[in-house]
């Protein structure tokens, strides 16, 4: 029997219109969006469906929006494929909260409230500093790490072979991009983000997030949930809380996380939520892996047929 892992999108995957056709086609999805509006206290569904883009991309809206669409995709997939089973989960950055909720370690409502709070804490850290991120393409990881050390920035997302995102003060990022190009990077591209995520500039968000996590029930996951910080499965509730706090300033070890799942015999991966970024990373890591996704009604139908075959 093939082993299936669910993958949940992170910030940057947001797109105006995400989840709209799912809510239009399925009453259960529409009810989840209405529930989410009540939980966060404003019309998050409308921002997901209609934007405008500059509002949706704000960290405090993008994070709960992506979490919500990922969760709706997860529930609809379960409803569309009787007897559907999965054997591990993982999520990129905020997607780790969705992965934990899917594995039963967090309730849907608590996970949504947490990512809403996390988004606010990180937005405040962004506004208190002048930082950013850049994608370095076509340079080996060790070479990127050397560039970071010399420029005074940090590796933030180790996504797949030939793609590392770096993070830090805006002026030092420009230096790092110049160094990367000089060392042979194919491209060094500043990213349109609000701040220096997964770097020490996010430190002010750690304390408030830790307090928010301490106030929420956390259980043991029913299946392994691969942690961004360690690229290994989470342990019990206290370790989950600690790793989610560390994740705010630590690099996301996505490639290593996927390689752990592949080494454990996982052959099918289903990306849930807007976009197909994680599917693209996985194909760069292992072309032989079966990769499916659920982002809208057509992709749900394709994935349901593939699982039923």
Q: Is 61 a catalytic residue?
A: no
Known catalytic residue at 2: no
Query: Which one is catalytic: 61, 167, 198, 257?
Result: 198
Query: C-alpha angle with apex 12: 297 to 8, nearest 5 degrees?
Result: 55
Q: How many CA atoms lie within 13 A of 198 on its CB side?
A: 27
Query: How confident is the model over 43-74, as pLDDT tens digits?
Result: 999 999 999 999 999 999 999 999 999 999 99
Q: How far is CA 23 from CA 34, 86, 258, in A?
A: 10, 24, 31
* Residues carrying CATH 3.30.70.250, the chain: 130-190
DSSP, res 233: B
How far does Cα 15 stand from its chain's mean position? 14
Predicted pLDDT of residue 12: 87
Closest CA to 4 of 224, 266, 233, 234: 266
The pLDDT averaged over each successive group of 10 residues in the chain (309 residues) is: 92 95 98 98 98 93 96 98 96 97 98 97 93 95 97 97 96 96 95 90 97 98 98 97 98 98 98 96 96 98 95
Tell me 274's DSSP state. S
The tokens 């420009």 sit on which residue?
174
Sequence ranges of the chain with CATH classification 3.40.366.10: 3-127+200-308
Which pLDDT value is given to residue 186? 96
d(CA 105, CA 210): 16
CATH architecture of 130-190: 2-Layer Sandwich (3.30)
CA 231 to chain centre: 14
Say what the pLDDT of residue 28 is.
97
- In the set 61, 93, 234, 279, the catalytic residue is 93
pLDDT in tens, 101-131: 999 999 999 999 999 999 999 999 999 989 9
Right CATH for 3-127+200-308 from 3.30.1520.10, 3.40.366.10, 3.40.50.300, 1.10.260.40: 3.40.366.10
Q: What are the two backbone dihedrals, phi and then psi, of residue 263, each rounded to the nearest 5 degrees?
A: -65, -25
- DSSP 3-state of 75: helix
DSSP state, residue 176: H
Q: Are 101 and 113 in contact (CB under 8 A)?
A: no
How far is it, in rounded angstroms, from Cα 18 to Cα 45? 9
Helix (H, G, I), strand (E, B) or coil at 156: strand
- pLDDT value at position 43? 98
Helices (H) and strands (E) in the chain, counts: 14, 9
Question: Tokens 């990512």 belong to which residue?
Answer: 115
CA distances 279 to 115, 170, 295, Å, are 23, 29, 12
pLDDT for residue 193: 84
Q: CB-side exposure of 102: number of CA atoms within 13 Å?
A: 36
Sign, CA dihedral 288-290-291-296, equals positive
Q: Which pLDDT does position 1 carry in this prediction? A: 67
């Amino acid at each position: 029997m093939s082993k299936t892992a669910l993958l949940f999108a992170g910030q940057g995957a947001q797109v105006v219109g995400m989840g709209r056709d799912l809510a239009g086609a399925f009453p259960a999805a529409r009810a989840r969006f209405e529930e989410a509006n009540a939980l966060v206290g404003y019309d998050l569904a409308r921002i997901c469906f209609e934007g405008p883009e500059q509002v949706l991309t704000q960290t405090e809206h993008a994070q709960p929006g992506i979490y919500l669409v990922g969760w709706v995709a997860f529930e609809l997939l379960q409803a569309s494929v009787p007897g559907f089973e999965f054997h591990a989960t993982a999520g990129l950055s905020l997607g780790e909260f969705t992965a934990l909720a899917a594995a039963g370690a967090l309730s849907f409502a608590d996970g949504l409230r947490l990512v809403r709070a996390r988004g606010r804490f990180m937005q405040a850290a962004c506004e208190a500093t002048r930082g950013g991120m850049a994608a370095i393409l076509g340079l080996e990881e060790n070479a990127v790490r050397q560039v970071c050390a010399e420029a005074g920035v940090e590796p933030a997302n180790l996504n797949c072979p030939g793609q590392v995102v770096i993070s830090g003060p805006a002026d030092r990022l420009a230096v790092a991009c110049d160094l990367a190009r000089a060392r042979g990077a194919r491209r060094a591209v500043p990213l349109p983000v609000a701040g220096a995520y997964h770097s020490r500039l996010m430190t002010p968000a750690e304390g408030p997030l830790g307090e928010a996590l301490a106030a929420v029930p956390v259980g043991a996951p029913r299946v392994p949930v691969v942690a961004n910080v360690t690229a290994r499965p989470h342990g019990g509730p206290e370790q989950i809380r600690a790793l989610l706090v560390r994740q705010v300033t630590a690099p996301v070890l996505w490639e290593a996380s996927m390689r752990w799942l592949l080494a454990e015999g996982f052959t099918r991966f289903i990306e849930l939520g807007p976009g197909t970024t994680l599917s693209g990373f996985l194909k760069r890591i292992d072309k032989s892996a079966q990769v499916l996704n659920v982002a809208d009604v057509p992709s749900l139908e394709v994935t349901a047929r593939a699982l039923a075959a």
